[in-house]
Structure 1
Amino acid sequence: MTGFPAIFRLLGGLAVCGAAGCTDPAIVEDPFDQTGELIAFSGGEAGALAACSTCHGVQGEGDGNLAPRIAGLDQGYALRQLEHFASGARKHPQMYRIATTLDGAAREKVTAYYAAMPYDPAPNGAAPGAAPDQCAGATIYHDGVPSQGVASCASCHGADGLGNAGNPPLAGQSAPYLAHQLDAWASGERYGDARAAMTAISRALHPTDRQAVAAYAARLADAGGDPALPETCLPERRPRR
């Protein structure tokens, strides 16, 4: 069963042991009790329907749509998101129920479990149905829109989109997820970031520009972190980097 999470191997062993009437306490009494892995696959106190793996995948890879990649996320960032879900700063009915059910210790363990995994920045999910303006997406990501007070995404999330200084990675998340988050910041459905920077940036961008920069950021792992732009991009619409 190489390649399967340890929890699956354990549960398989427990099933065999139960059928055979085993009573070895070393096997029966400690089935990954209170571990982040158990919470990830069982939902912990929130119940089986709240298991992280149900929406975010067996390896935390996300669903390529609106459930993000959580494997490899910085633990501090992930903990803040659970706090925001619980407080209502980030609105999501299912995540609210999960976050308010898990206590502080459980949140620590499950976020540590995913933080220990490697982060995979490879593009996740299908490209958007309607092709966004790749020229605009690249320019906003690397240069921002100074005339509108919009800082570049790269200044916080890195030119390669892998994040830095507590800011999450964008490369490897799906374009629909990133666009949805920008819309949530703009509408007030999500708030709580330092200095309300993401709220201001998202509100300053036109919805089509949000889609464009989300699509570009999601592809940053292509071509070594430098996705090719169409030849039709005019020089003034190419990043200055």
Structure 2
Amino acid sequence: MAHDHTPMMLTLALTAVVAMGPHVARAGTSDAPEVVRSVCAGCHGADGNGGNPTSAEFPKLAGKQSAYLRKQLKDYQTGKRKSPVMAPLAAALSPEQIEAVSAHYAEQTSRPATVTQSALLATGKKVYVDGNVESGVPACAGCHLPDASGNMRYPHLAGQHAPYTYAELRKFASGERDNDRGLVMQAVAARMTDEEMKAVSEYLAGLE
């Protein structure tokens, strides 16, 4: 029988944040590797390419824009973005720790994730590059760029675990997640079919 170690990991991570707080606040971003190893690496990997490729809970963070990562952590702190795991972890982080973690993961290089449904790749690429004119789904590449590297407003998506991307698209579509800029992703995801969400997620997983 599989065991959920999330509560134990959360307790250990929170303890590490509290213990490191004063030191990181003094040292600033130079201590990012220590913060990451002690708090984040267990779920996301020290280089941001970790996480469980079959789980929707722990995304890859490597290569995400620092501004995007910083916003997500602050949204977890304020409750704008909800998660039983990330909310208490983010709440324990100081502003200096948030800056340190965001800067560290933004500097890492993302690697492709595992593609498990290759039959969906052609559909995923078409929706990502061209959108769906009939249903009004815009091309994802228009905001996140053709290589899914993103920019200062829209995050890097290449190489993300497909289950995580799919789960977040469903949250946007249902309105469960509403911390996107201008609610753009809510509007886009609401027009996508379930198959399109799965297909785009698989396509993004295979990008470098």
TM score, norm. by length of structure 2: 0.77
> How many residues are matched?
178
Residue 33 (str. 1) matches residue 53 (str. 2)? no
Checking the alignment, whether the CA contact within 8 Å between 2:64 and 2:155 is kept in structure 1 is: yes
Moved more, 151-160 or 141-150: 141-150
Q: After TM superposition, which residue ranges in structure 1, 4 or more long, deviate above 6 angstroms?
A: none
Q: Aligned partners of 1:134 and 1:61: how far apart in 2?
A: 21
Per the alignment, residue 15 of structure 2 pairs with none
Q: Aligned partners of 1:200 and 1:36: how far apart in 2?
A: 35
Change (3 A) 1:101 1:54: same
Moved more, 58-67 or 72-81: 58-67
Q: Aligned partners of 2:158 and 2:96: how far apart in 1?
A: 30
Residue 141 (str. 1) matches residue 128 (str. 2)? yes
SS, match of residue 190 in structure 2: helix
Deviation at 1:147, TM superposition (A): 2.8
Residue 184 (str. 1) matches residue 174 (str. 2)? no
Checking the alignment, whether the CA contact within 8 Å between 2:124 and 2:199 is kept in structure 1 is: yes
Q: Is there any run of 5+ residues in structure 1 with no aligned partner, and where? A: 1-31, 43-50, 222-241
CA displacement, residues 18-45 of structure 1 (integer Å, 9 cap, x when unaligned): xxxxxxxxxxxxxx93122222122xxx
Per the alignment, residue 85 of structure 1 pairs with 76
Deviation at 1:132, TM superposition (A): 4.9
What percent of counterpart residues are identical? 34
Moved more, 69-78 or 207-216: 69-78
Q: Aligned partners of 1:184 and 1:95: how far apart in 2?
A: 16
Correspondence for 1:113 among 95, 104, 110: 104
Checking the alignment, whether the CA contact within 8 Å between 2:60 and 2:160 is kept in structure 1 is: yes
Checking the alignment, whether the CA contact within 8 Å between 1:179 and 1:214 is kept in structure 2 is: yes
Checking the alignment, whether the CA contact within 8 Å between 2:120 and 2:203 is kept in structure 1 is: no
Checking the alignment, whether the CA contact within 8 Å between 1:89 and 1:189 is kept in structure 2 is: no
Residue 197 (str. 1) matches residue 184 (str. 2)? yes
CA displacement, residues 158-191 of structure 1 (integer Å, 9 cap, x when unaligned): 1111112332121111111111111111122211
Amino acid at match of 1:52: C
Q: Aligned partners of 2:197 and 2:80: how far apart in 1?
A: 21
Q: Aligned partners of 2:86 and 2:141: how far apart in 1?
A: 28
Correspondence for 1:62 among 35, 47, 50: 50
Checking the alignment, whether the CA contact within 8 Å between 2:65 and 2:151 is kept in structure 1 is: no
What is the alpha-carbon root mean square deviation over aligned residues? 2.0
Largest Rg, 1 or 2: 1
TM score, norm. by length of structure 1: 0.68
Residue 169 (str. 1) matches residue 156 (str. 2)? yes
Q: Is there any run of 5+ residues in structure 2 with no aligned partner, and where? A: 1-21, 25-30
Checking the alignment, whether the CA contact within 8 Å between 1:132 and 1:211 is kept in structure 2 is: no
Checking the alignment, whether the CA contact within 8 Å between 1:82 and 1:99 is kept in structure 2 is: yes
Residue 99 (str. 1) matches residue 99 (str. 2)? no
Checking the alignment, whether the CA contact within 8 Å between 2:75 and 2:81 is kept in structure 1 is: yes
